[in-house]
Structure 1
Amino acid sequence: MMGDNLSALYPSIHMALGGFHFGSYQTSVMISTLVILPTVMLRNLSLLSYISAGGVIAFIMIILCLLWVGLLSDIEFHPSGNIFNFSKLPVTIGIYSFCFGGHSVFPSIYSSMREPSRFPSVVLISFLIAFISFAGVAIFGFLIFGEATKSQFTLNMPERHIASKVAKWTVVITPLTKYALTITPVAFSIEEFLPSHHRKSHGVSILIRTALVISTLLVSLLIPYFGSVTALIGSALVVLVIGACTFIIILGLISSIVGTYSALHSMSG
Protein backbone atom coordinates (compact mmCIF):
# COMPACT_ATOMS: atom_id res chain seq x y z
CA MET A 1 0.00 0.00 0.00
CA MET A 2 2.79 2.38 0.94
CA GLY A 3 4.79 1.43 -2.16
CA ASP A 4 1.79 1.73 -4.51
CA ASN A 5 1.04 5.30 -3.49
CA LEU A 6 4.68 6.35 -3.33
CA SER A 7 5.22 5.10 -6.88
CA ALA A 8 2.07 6.96 -7.95
CA LEU A 9 3.52 10.17 -6.50
CA TYR A 10 6.94 9.58 -8.13
CA PRO A 11 6.34 7.41 -11.22
CA SER A 12 9.77 8.16 -12.69
CA ILE A 13 11.77 7.01 -9.67
CA HIS A 14 14.10 4.06 -10.35
CA MET A 15 17.25 2.46 -9.01
CA ALA A 16 20.08 0.24 -10.25
CA LEU A 17 21.74 -2.06 -7.72
CA GLY A 18 24.17 -4.93 -8.27
CA GLY A 19 23.48 -5.08 -11.98
CA PHE A 20 19.72 -5.17 -11.45
CA HIS A 21 17.37 -2.38 -12.48
CA PHE A 22 14.38 -1.64 -10.28
CA GLY A 23 11.39 0.30 -11.56
CA SER A 24 9.17 2.78 -9.77
CA TYR A 25 7.14 0.23 -7.79
CA GLN A 26 10.12 -1.91 -6.70
CA THR A 27 12.14 1.15 -5.68
CA SER A 28 9.22 2.62 -3.75
CA VAL A 29 8.66 -0.64 -1.88
CA MET A 30 12.33 -0.87 -0.88
CA ILE A 31 12.36 2.75 0.29
CA SER A 32 9.20 2.10 2.29
CA THR A 33 10.84 -0.92 3.92
CA LEU A 34 13.87 1.10 5.00
CA VAL A 35 11.63 3.80 6.47
CA ILE A 36 9.43 1.32 8.37
CA LEU A 37 12.28 -0.84 9.71
CA PRO A 38 13.26 1.42 12.66
CA THR A 39 9.67 1.51 13.94
CA VAL A 40 9.53 -2.27 14.53
CA MET A 41 12.45 -2.13 16.98
CA LEU A 42 10.17 -0.71 19.69
CA ARG A 43 9.11 -3.38 22.20
CA ASN A 44 6.82 -1.21 24.34
CA LEU A 45 3.23 -1.85 23.22
CA SER A 46 1.94 1.10 25.25
CA LEU A 47 4.19 3.43 23.27
CA LEU A 48 3.18 1.74 20.02
CA SER A 49 -0.49 2.27 20.87
CA TYR A 50 0.07 6.02 21.03
CA ILE A 51 1.87 5.92 17.69
CA SER A 52 -0.93 3.86 16.14
CA ALA A 53 -3.43 6.50 17.26
CA GLY A 54 -1.93 8.61 14.49
CA GLY A 55 -3.27 6.02 12.06
CA VAL A 56 -6.81 6.88 13.13
CA ILE A 57 -6.20 10.55 12.38
CA ALA A 58 -4.66 9.60 9.03
CA PHE A 59 -7.68 7.45 8.15
CA ILE A 60 -10.03 10.35 8.88
CA MET A 61 -7.94 12.61 6.65
CA ILE A 62 -8.14 10.09 3.80
CA ILE A 63 -11.94 9.96 4.09
CA LEU A 64 -12.14 13.76 4.08
CA CYS A 65 -9.96 13.88 0.95
CA LEU A 66 -12.28 11.40 -0.78
CA LEU A 67 -15.30 13.53 0.10
CA TRP A 68 -13.43 16.63 -1.07
CA VAL A 69 -12.80 15.09 -4.49
CA GLY A 70 -16.39 13.88 -4.81
CA LEU A 71 -18.23 16.92 -3.48
CA LEU A 72 -16.04 19.96 -4.11
CA SER A 73 -14.05 19.13 -7.25
CA ASP A 74 -15.02 18.85 -10.91
CA ILE A 75 -15.10 15.04 -10.70
CA GLU A 76 -18.31 14.86 -8.68
CA PHE A 77 -20.32 11.63 -8.52
CA HIS A 78 -20.41 9.39 -11.59
CA PRO A 79 -21.55 5.92 -10.51
CA SER A 80 -21.24 3.34 -13.26
CA GLY A 81 -21.71 -0.39 -13.47
CA ASN A 82 -23.77 -2.82 -11.44
CA ILE A 83 -24.21 -2.14 -7.75
CA PHE A 84 -24.37 -5.87 -7.07
CA ASN A 85 -21.80 -8.01 -8.88
CA PHE A 86 -22.23 -11.45 -7.36
CA SER A 87 -19.42 -12.94 -9.45
CA LYS A 88 -16.94 -10.91 -7.40
CA LEU A 89 -18.68 -11.46 -4.06
CA PRO A 90 -16.18 -14.09 -2.78
CA VAL A 91 -13.25 -11.74 -3.43
CA THR A 92 -15.15 -8.88 -1.81
CA ILE A 93 -15.81 -10.95 1.30
CA GLY A 94 -12.11 -11.79 1.52
CA ILE A 95 -11.04 -8.15 1.20
CA TYR A 96 -13.63 -6.96 3.71
CA SER A 97 -12.70 -9.73 6.16
CA PHE A 98 -9.05 -8.70 5.90
CA CYS A 99 -9.98 -5.32 7.38
CA PHE A 100 -11.04 -7.05 10.62
CA GLY A 101 -8.08 -9.42 10.87
CA GLY A 102 -6.53 -8.22 14.11
CA HIS A 103 -6.26 -11.64 15.76
CA SER A 104 -2.49 -11.53 16.19
CA VAL A 105 -2.71 -8.19 17.99
CA PHE A 106 -5.64 -8.91 20.32
CA PRO A 107 -3.76 -10.95 22.98
CA SER A 108 -1.03 -8.32 23.29
CA ILE A 109 -3.56 -5.49 23.47
CA TYR A 110 -5.54 -7.36 26.13
CA SER A 111 -2.47 -8.01 28.29
CA SER A 112 -1.26 -4.41 28.01
CA MET A 113 -4.63 -2.81 28.89
CA ARG A 114 -4.97 -1.02 32.21
CA GLU A 115 -8.47 -2.51 32.59
CA PRO A 116 -8.57 -5.83 30.68
CA SER A 117 -12.20 -6.37 31.71
CA ARG A 118 -13.20 -3.66 29.22
CA PHE A 119 -11.60 -5.49 26.28
CA PRO A 120 -14.90 -6.89 24.85
CA SER A 121 -16.45 -3.41 24.84
CA VAL A 122 -13.36 -1.93 23.21
CA VAL A 123 -13.39 -4.58 20.46
CA LEU A 124 -17.13 -4.17 19.84
CA ILE A 125 -16.94 -0.37 19.57
CA SER A 126 -13.80 -0.54 17.41
CA PHE A 127 -15.34 -3.04 15.00
CA LEU A 128 -18.57 -1.03 14.79
CA ILE A 129 -16.68 2.17 13.94
CA ALA A 130 -14.53 0.27 11.43
CA PHE A 131 -17.59 -1.29 9.78
CA ILE A 132 -19.33 2.07 9.33
CA SER A 133 -16.14 3.72 8.07
CA PHE A 134 -15.27 0.98 5.58
CA ALA A 135 -18.82 0.75 4.27
CA GLY A 136 -18.97 4.52 3.85
CA VAL A 137 -15.67 4.65 1.97
CA ALA A 138 -16.77 1.77 -0.30
CA ILE A 139 -20.06 3.50 -1.13
CA PHE A 140 -18.48 6.89 -1.82
CA GLY A 141 -15.67 5.28 -3.83
CA PHE A 142 -18.20 3.52 -6.06
CA LEU A 143 -20.32 6.65 -6.45
CA ILE A 144 -17.28 8.64 -7.58
CA PHE A 145 -15.24 6.15 -9.63
CA GLY A 146 -17.72 3.36 -10.38
CA GLU A 147 -16.37 0.00 -11.53
CA ALA A 148 -13.08 1.68 -12.45
CA THR A 149 -12.22 1.85 -8.74
CA LYS A 150 -8.80 0.31 -8.15
CA SER A 151 -7.66 -1.77 -5.17
CA GLN A 152 -6.88 1.55 -3.45
CA PHE A 153 -9.15 4.43 -4.36
CA THR A 154 -6.29 6.91 -3.85
CA LEU A 155 -4.81 5.54 -7.08
CA ASN A 156 -7.97 6.74 -8.88
CA MET A 157 -7.71 10.28 -7.58
CA PRO A 158 -6.40 12.71 -10.26
CA GLU A 159 -3.01 14.30 -9.69
CA ARG A 160 -4.25 17.84 -10.36
CA HIS A 161 -6.13 18.06 -7.07
CA ILE A 162 -4.43 18.94 -3.81
CA ALA A 163 -6.72 16.48 -2.02
CA SER A 164 -5.26 13.67 -4.14
CA LYS A 165 -1.70 14.46 -3.09
CA VAL A 166 -2.73 14.83 0.56
CA ALA A 167 -4.55 11.48 0.46
CA LYS A 168 -1.65 9.65 -1.17
CA TRP A 169 0.93 11.08 1.22
CA THR A 170 -1.34 10.20 4.13
CA VAL A 171 -1.56 6.61 2.88
CA VAL A 172 2.24 6.56 2.57
CA ILE A 173 2.62 7.70 6.18
CA THR A 174 -0.14 5.49 7.64
CA PRO A 175 1.88 2.20 7.68
CA LEU A 176 4.45 3.94 9.87
CA THR A 177 1.80 4.17 12.57
CA LYS A 178 0.35 0.66 12.21
CA TYR A 179 2.92 -1.82 10.94
CA ALA A 180 4.95 -2.05 14.15
CA LEU A 181 1.87 -2.71 16.30
CA THR A 182 0.85 -5.52 13.95
CA ILE A 183 4.26 -7.18 13.62
CA THR A 184 5.38 -6.90 17.28
CA PRO A 185 3.04 -9.66 18.62
CA VAL A 186 4.31 -11.94 15.83
CA ALA A 187 7.89 -11.20 16.90
CA PHE A 188 6.99 -11.91 20.54
CA SER A 189 5.49 -15.27 19.54
CA ILE A 190 8.66 -16.24 17.67
CA GLU A 191 10.80 -15.21 20.64
CA GLU A 192 8.81 -17.58 22.86
CA PHE A 193 10.29 -20.53 20.94
CA LEU A 194 13.85 -19.39 21.66
CA PRO A 195 15.94 -20.61 24.62
CA SER A 196 15.39 -18.48 27.73
CA HIS A 197 18.87 -16.91 27.60
CA HIS A 198 18.15 -15.57 24.08
CA ARG A 199 14.68 -14.11 24.71
CA LYS A 200 15.96 -10.92 26.32
CA SER A 201 18.81 -10.47 23.86
CA HIS A 202 18.44 -7.14 22.07
CA GLY A 203 20.49 -8.41 19.12
CA VAL A 204 18.25 -11.46 18.63
CA SER A 205 15.16 -9.25 18.86
CA ILE A 206 16.52 -6.94 16.16
CA LEU A 207 17.39 -9.92 13.96
CA ILE A 208 13.87 -11.40 14.23
CA ARG A 209 12.15 -8.10 13.49
CA THR A 210 14.46 -7.38 10.56
CA ALA A 211 13.72 -10.83 9.11
CA LEU A 212 9.97 -10.21 9.41
CA VAL A 213 10.25 -6.87 7.63
CA ILE A 214 12.40 -8.39 4.87
CA SER A 215 9.85 -11.19 4.42
CA THR A 216 7.17 -8.53 3.94
CA LEU A 217 9.40 -6.83 1.37
CA LEU A 218 9.86 -10.08 -0.57
CA VAL A 219 6.12 -10.78 -0.61
CA SER A 220 5.45 -7.24 -1.87
CA LEU A 221 8.01 -7.62 -4.66
CA LEU A 222 7.05 -11.14 -5.70
CA ILE A 223 3.25 -10.69 -5.44
CA PRO A 224 2.51 -7.04 -6.36
CA TYR A 225 -1.27 -7.49 -6.31
CA PHE A 226 -2.59 -5.64 -3.27
CA GLY A 227 -6.27 -6.48 -3.73
CA SER A 228 -5.67 -10.16 -4.49
CA VAL A 229 -3.29 -10.62 -1.56
CA THR A 230 -5.67 -8.99 0.92
CA ALA A 231 -8.53 -11.13 -0.40
CA LEU A 232 -6.42 -14.27 -0.01
CA ILE A 233 -5.42 -13.42 3.56
CA GLY A 234 -8.97 -12.46 4.46
CA SER A 235 -10.47 -15.64 3.03
CA ALA A 236 -7.79 -18.15 4.03
CA LEU A 237 -6.81 -16.85 7.46
CA VAL A 238 -9.31 -14.37 8.91
CA VAL A 239 -12.56 -16.15 8.02
CA LEU A 240 -10.92 -19.47 8.91
CA VAL A 241 -11.03 -18.43 12.58
CA ILE A 242 -14.82 -18.72 12.42
CA GLY A 243 -14.41 -22.39 11.50
CA ALA A 244 -12.17 -22.98 14.52
CA CYS A 245 -14.68 -21.26 16.82
CA THR A 246 -17.53 -23.29 15.32
CA PHE A 247 -15.58 -26.51 15.89
CA ILE A 248 -14.93 -25.56 19.52
CA ILE A 249 -18.63 -24.80 20.08
CA ILE A 250 -19.71 -28.09 18.48
CA LEU A 251 -17.10 -30.01 20.48
CA GLY A 252 -18.28 -28.27 23.66
CA LEU A 253 -21.93 -29.12 22.98
CA ILE A 254 -21.14 -32.76 22.23
CA SER A 255 -18.97 -33.03 25.35
CA SER A 256 -21.70 -31.38 27.42
CA ILE A 257 -24.41 -33.72 26.13
CA VAL A 258 -22.30 -36.86 26.48
CA GLY A 259 -21.02 -35.83 29.89
CA THR A 260 -24.50 -34.98 31.18
CA TYR A 261 -25.91 -38.27 29.88
CA SER A 262 -23.07 -40.27 31.42
CA ALA A 263 -23.46 -38.54 34.78
CA LEU A 264 -27.24 -39.07 34.86
CA HIS A 265 -26.84 -42.68 33.72
CA SER A 266 -24.32 -43.41 36.47
CA MET A 267 -26.57 -41.85 39.12
CA SER A 268 -29.61 -43.80 37.96
CA GLY A 269 -27.69 -47.04 37.82
Structure 2
Amino acid sequence: QLKVNFCFIALVVAVIITPMLMLGSAKDFWQTALVALCSTSAAVILMIVGIIHDWGPCIAEVDFPSVVFNQFFLSYGTIMFAFGGHSAFPSFQHDMKNPRDFHKSSLAAYVVMMILYLPVSVLGYLVYGGSQGGTIITSLQLTWVQQTVNVLITVHVIFAQVLICSPLSLQIEELCRVPNQFGIRRVILRLIIVLCVLFTALSIPKFGAILDL
Protein backbone atom coordinates (compact mmCIF):
# COMPACT_ATOMS: atom_id res chain seq x y z
CA GLN A 1 0.00 0.00 0.00
CA LEU A 2 1.42 3.34 -1.09
CA LYS A 3 1.65 5.93 1.66
CA VAL A 4 2.63 9.50 0.84
CA ASN A 5 3.43 12.10 3.47
CA PHE A 6 0.85 14.90 3.71
CA CYS A 7 3.56 17.57 3.69
CA PHE A 8 4.88 16.24 0.40
CA ILE A 9 1.40 16.24 -1.14
CA ALA A 10 0.78 19.82 -0.01
CA LEU A 11 4.08 20.90 -1.54
CA VAL A 12 3.27 19.16 -4.84
CA VAL A 13 -0.17 20.80 -4.97
CA ALA A 14 1.39 24.22 -4.33
CA VAL A 15 3.85 23.67 -7.17
CA ILE A 16 1.05 22.62 -9.53
CA ILE A 17 -1.25 25.58 -8.85
CA THR A 18 1.46 28.27 -8.79
CA PRO A 19 1.81 28.64 -12.60
CA MET A 20 -1.98 28.91 -13.00
CA LEU A 21 -2.17 31.54 -10.27
CA MET A 22 0.14 33.76 -12.28
CA LEU A 23 -2.62 34.37 -14.82
CA GLY A 24 -4.97 37.32 -14.51
CA SER A 25 -8.56 36.89 -13.39
CA ALA A 26 -10.95 33.94 -13.68
CA LYS A 27 -11.80 34.80 -17.28
CA ASP A 28 -8.23 33.86 -18.24
CA PHE A 29 -8.56 30.31 -16.90
CA TRP A 30 -12.27 29.51 -17.02
CA GLN A 31 -11.32 26.00 -18.11
CA THR A 32 -10.31 25.24 -14.52
CA ALA A 33 -13.95 25.56 -13.43
CA LEU A 34 -14.98 23.05 -16.08
CA VAL A 35 -12.28 20.59 -15.01
CA ALA A 36 -13.28 20.98 -11.35
CA LEU A 37 -16.94 20.36 -12.17
CA CYS A 38 -16.21 17.32 -14.32
CA SER A 39 -13.93 15.76 -11.71
CA THR A 40 -16.50 16.31 -8.96
CA SER A 41 -19.30 14.89 -11.09
CA ALA A 42 -17.24 11.80 -11.85
CA ALA A 43 -16.42 11.42 -8.14
CA VAL A 44 -20.10 11.66 -7.21
CA ILE A 45 -21.06 9.01 -9.75
CA LEU A 46 -18.37 6.67 -8.45
CA MET A 47 -19.41 7.26 -4.84
CA ILE A 48 -23.01 6.42 -5.68
CA VAL A 49 -21.80 3.25 -7.41
CA GLY A 50 -19.76 2.36 -4.33
CA ILE A 51 -22.63 3.07 -1.94
CA ILE A 52 -25.03 0.93 -3.98
CA HIS A 53 -22.43 -1.86 -3.97
CA ASP A 54 -22.27 -1.66 -0.16
CA TRP A 55 -26.04 -1.51 0.26
CA GLY A 56 -26.57 -5.23 0.84
CA PRO A 57 -23.93 -6.00 3.49
CA CYS A 58 -24.11 -2.63 5.25
CA ILE A 59 -27.84 -1.93 5.40
CA ALA A 60 -28.44 -4.96 7.63
CA GLU A 61 -26.08 -3.65 10.31
CA VAL A 62 -26.53 0.09 9.92
CA ASP A 63 -26.93 2.05 13.12
CA PHE A 64 -28.53 5.48 13.14
CA PRO A 65 -27.36 7.64 16.04
CA SER A 66 -29.80 9.74 18.02
CA VAL A 67 -30.42 13.19 16.63
CA VAL A 68 -28.96 15.83 18.94
CA PHE A 69 -30.01 19.38 18.16
CA ASN A 70 -26.78 20.87 19.51
CA GLN A 71 -24.81 18.91 16.91
CA PHE A 72 -26.41 21.03 14.21
CA PHE A 73 -24.34 24.02 15.26
CA LEU A 74 -21.16 21.94 15.07
CA SER A 75 -22.04 20.71 11.59
CA TYR A 76 -23.11 24.13 10.33
CA GLY A 77 -19.53 25.28 9.79
CA THR A 78 -18.78 22.19 7.73
CA ILE A 79 -21.94 22.69 5.69
CA MET A 80 -21.06 26.32 4.96
CA PHE A 81 -17.54 25.30 3.97
CA ALA A 82 -19.09 23.62 0.93
CA PHE A 83 -20.18 27.09 -0.17
CA GLY A 84 -16.81 28.71 0.48
CA GLY A 85 -16.50 29.92 -3.09
CA HIS A 86 -18.98 32.73 -2.52
CA SER A 87 -16.17 35.17 -1.85
CA ALA A 88 -15.14 34.87 -5.49
CA PHE A 89 -18.60 35.59 -6.90
CA PRO A 90 -18.12 39.36 -7.37
CA SER A 91 -15.01 38.69 -9.43
CA PHE A 92 -16.84 36.13 -11.55
CA GLN A 93 -19.70 38.53 -12.14
CA HIS A 94 -17.27 41.26 -13.15
CA ASP A 95 -15.65 38.97 -15.72
CA MET A 96 -18.93 37.85 -17.26
CA LYS A 97 -19.83 38.98 -20.75
CA ASN A 98 -23.27 39.95 -19.43
CA PRO A 99 -22.95 40.63 -15.68
CA ARG A 100 -26.71 41.19 -15.41
CA ASP A 101 -27.19 37.47 -16.06
CA PHE A 102 -25.26 36.53 -12.94
CA HIS A 103 -28.44 35.51 -11.12
CA LYS A 104 -29.05 32.89 -13.81
CA SER A 105 -25.61 31.35 -13.44
CA SER A 106 -25.90 31.51 -9.66
CA LEU A 107 -29.24 29.68 -9.71
CA ALA A 108 -27.83 27.07 -12.08
CA ALA A 109 -24.85 26.58 -9.77
CA TYR A 110 -27.09 25.94 -6.76
CA VAL A 111 -29.19 23.46 -8.72
CA VAL A 112 -26.10 21.56 -9.86
CA MET A 113 -24.71 21.51 -6.31
CA MET A 114 -28.00 20.15 -4.98
CA ILE A 115 -28.00 17.43 -7.63
CA LEU A 116 -24.45 16.47 -6.64
CA TYR A 117 -24.75 16.75 -2.86
CA LEU A 118 -28.15 15.25 -2.06
CA PRO A 119 -27.78 11.74 -3.53
CA VAL A 120 -24.41 11.17 -1.87
CA SER A 121 -25.44 12.54 1.52
CA VAL A 122 -28.81 10.77 1.66
CA LEU A 123 -27.62 7.41 0.31
CA GLY A 124 -24.47 7.57 2.42
CA TYR A 125 -26.45 8.13 5.60
CA LEU A 126 -28.95 5.38 4.78
CA VAL A 127 -26.22 2.82 4.08
CA TYR A 128 -23.50 3.73 6.58
CA GLY A 129 -25.44 5.57 9.28
CA GLY A 130 -23.34 6.59 12.26
CA SER A 131 -20.40 4.40 11.27
CA GLN A 132 -19.06 6.86 8.73
CA GLY A 133 -16.32 9.23 9.76
CA GLY A 134 -15.61 12.73 8.56
CA THR A 135 -16.14 11.71 4.95
CA ILE A 136 -18.15 9.08 3.12
CA ILE A 137 -15.10 8.21 1.03
CA THR A 138 -13.47 6.25 3.86
CA SER A 139 -16.64 4.18 4.28
CA LEU A 140 -16.63 2.92 0.69
CA GLN A 141 -15.74 -0.77 0.64
CA LEU A 142 -14.49 -0.94 -2.95
CA THR A 143 -10.83 0.06 -2.73
CA TRP A 144 -10.50 1.13 -6.35
CA VAL A 145 -13.57 3.35 -6.03
CA GLN A 146 -12.23 4.93 -2.85
CA GLN A 147 -8.82 5.62 -4.39
CA THR A 148 -10.25 6.95 -7.65
CA VAL A 149 -12.61 9.26 -5.80
CA ASN A 150 -9.71 10.59 -3.74
CA VAL A 151 -7.80 11.40 -6.92
CA LEU A 152 -10.82 13.10 -8.50
CA ILE A 153 -11.51 15.18 -5.40
CA THR A 154 -7.85 16.18 -5.32
CA VAL A 155 -8.11 17.35 -8.94
CA HIS A 156 -11.20 19.34 -8.02
CA VAL A 157 -9.50 21.00 -5.06
CA ILE A 158 -6.43 21.92 -7.10
CA PHE A 159 -8.41 23.69 -9.80
CA ALA A 160 -10.97 25.17 -7.41
CA GLN A 161 -8.13 26.61 -5.35
CA VAL A 162 -6.98 28.57 -8.39
CA LEU A 163 -10.44 30.09 -8.80
CA ILE A 164 -10.77 30.97 -5.12
CA CYS A 165 -7.30 32.50 -4.81
CA SER A 166 -7.62 34.65 -7.92
CA PRO A 167 -9.97 37.33 -6.43
CA LEU A 168 -7.83 37.50 -3.29
CA SER A 169 -4.71 37.97 -5.38
CA LEU A 170 -6.33 40.71 -7.45
CA GLN A 171 -7.49 42.59 -4.38
CA ILE A 172 -4.09 42.43 -2.70
CA GLU A 173 -2.46 43.56 -5.94
CA GLU A 174 -4.78 46.54 -6.04
CA LEU A 175 -3.92 47.45 -2.45
CA CYS A 176 -0.21 47.11 -3.21
CA ARG A 177 -0.60 49.01 -6.50
CA VAL A 178 0.72 46.14 -8.57
CA PRO A 179 0.04 46.64 -12.31
CA ASN A 180 -2.84 44.56 -13.64
CA GLN A 181 -0.60 42.65 -16.02
CA PHE A 182 1.95 39.88 -15.87
CA GLY A 183 5.23 41.04 -14.39
CA ILE A 184 7.82 40.45 -11.71
CA ARG A 185 5.78 42.24 -9.04
CA ARG A 186 2.78 40.01 -9.70
CA VAL A 187 4.97 36.91 -9.58
CA ILE A 188 6.54 37.89 -6.26
CA LEU A 189 3.23 38.85 -4.65
CA ARG A 190 1.39 35.72 -5.76
CA LEU A 191 4.30 33.52 -4.71
CA ILE A 192 3.99 35.03 -1.25
CA ILE A 193 0.26 34.23 -1.25
CA VAL A 194 0.96 30.62 -2.26
CA LEU A 195 3.56 30.31 0.49
CA CYS A 196 1.10 31.68 3.05
CA VAL A 197 -1.55 29.17 1.95
CA LEU A 198 1.02 26.37 2.06
CA PHE A 199 2.16 27.43 5.53
CA THR A 200 -1.44 27.39 6.76
CA ALA A 201 -2.05 23.95 5.26
CA LEU A 202 1.08 22.52 6.88
CA SER A 203 0.41 24.22 10.22
CA ILE A 204 -3.23 23.12 10.43
CA PRO A 205 -3.51 19.91 8.36
CA LYS A 206 -6.90 19.00 9.84
CA PHE A 207 -9.53 21.71 9.67
CA GLY A 208 -12.39 19.65 11.12
CA ALA A 209 -12.28 21.20 14.58
CA ILE A 210 -11.97 24.71 13.13
CA LEU A 211 -14.88 24.20 10.75
CA ASP A 212 -17.03 23.08 13.69
CA LEU A 213 -16.53 26.49 15.26
Give CA deviations for 1:2-45 in whole Å, capped at 9, x if unaligned. xxxxxxx832x3xxxxxxxxxx2222222222222222122142
Corresponding residue for 1:10? 2
Give, in whole Å, the separation in 2 of the partners of 1:156 and 1:184: 34
1:141 to 117, 124, 127: 124
Q: Which has the higher contact order (CA 8 A, sep 6+)?
A: 2
2:51, 2:140 within 8 Å by CA — same for their partners in 1? no
Is residue 174 of structure 1 aligned with residue 156 of structure 2? yes
Partner secondary structure for residue 68 of structure 1: helix
1:127 Cα offset (Å) = 1.7
2:41, 2:116 within 8 Å by CA — same for their partners in 1? no
Is residue 210 of structure 1 aligned with residue 191 of structure 2? yes
Give, in whole Å, the separation in 1 of the partners of 2:149 and 2:104: 31
Question: What is the total number of aligned residue pairs between the two structures?
Answer: 211
1:201 Cα offset (Å) = 5.7
Is residue 195 of structure 1 aligned with residue 187 of structure 2? no
Two-structure CA RMSD over aligned residues (Å): 2.4
Corresponding residue for 1:34? 15
Corresponding residue for 1:55? 36
1:85 Cα offset (Å) = 3.1
Give, in whole Å, the separation in 2 of the partners of 1:219 and 1:130: 27
Q: Scaled by the length of structure 2, what TM-score is found?
A: 0.86
1:102 Cα offset (Å) = 2.6
1:49 Cα offset (Å) = 1.8
Give, in whole Å, the separation in 2 of the partners of 1:48 and 1:80: 45
2:23, 2:182 within 8 Å by CA — same for their partners in 1? no
Give, in whole Å, the separation in 1 of the partners of 2:20 and 2:128: 35
Q: Scaled by the length of structure 1, what TM-score is found?
A: 0.70
Give, in whole Å, the separation in 2 of the partners of 1:223 and 1:111: 33
